[in-house]
Amino acid sequence: MRAWFWGTVAAYVVVWAYAAAVLPSRVPVHFGPLGDADRFASRTEALVSLGVVGVGTALLFVLTDLLLTRGDMSMLNIPHKPWWSATAARRDRARTLMRDDMHLFAAATMLLLILVQASTVLAAQADEPRLGWGFFVAFFAYLVFTGVWVVRMYRAYHPRRHPDLEQDT
């Protein structure tokens, strides 16, 4: 999962570099509910904004990974926390599960941001700048993924799913 995250970070950088090469001087940076561009910015402002969002999001997930690796379990919100915190083996398993889950969510989020960049480039190059239907389908897919991910994550942390740790007291 970690490789997926770093792969999407690298892809984000590649798409950003492509945007830097092809964006016109006037770039749509905000779109209304139907996908029509309703705010424009300079090429420089658009690239800085896209760069800050991408780097900031990647750093947030890197810091989350560090917290999951080295942080105190009391700082983490996890279902059945007393059970997971009871032994070293359980704490180690919880950290591994949480890191894998966060890497998957981080990769999905970076994919969404890649989509935002690509959609911005396409809209900037169109005669009438607007988001295509593909953006909305992909955004909806991200929302569905997030819902499924939360439910799956919650269920995965139930102690009965880890019988090998039951006797570990």
Q: What are the extents of the domains in the chain?
A: 2-16+38-163
Structure tokens given for 55: 């780097």
Instruction: Tally helices (H) and strands (E) across the chain.
Output: 5, 2
Confidence at residue 163, expressed as pLDDT on a 0 to 100 scale = 86
- Residue 97: name the closest of 162, 160, 7, 157 by CA: 157
Residue type, 95: R
pTM over 0.85: yes
How far apart (Å, rounded) are the C-alpha atoms in residues 106 and 57?
Answer: 8
Which of the residues in the chain have pLDDT under 50? Answer: none
Residue 54's identity, in one-letter code, is G
Per-residue model confidence (pLDDT) at position 168: 54
Which tokens go with 93? 């398993």
What is the pLDDT at residue 167?
67
Separation CA 68–CA 2 (nearest Å): 13
Q: What pLDDT does 165 receive?
A: 83
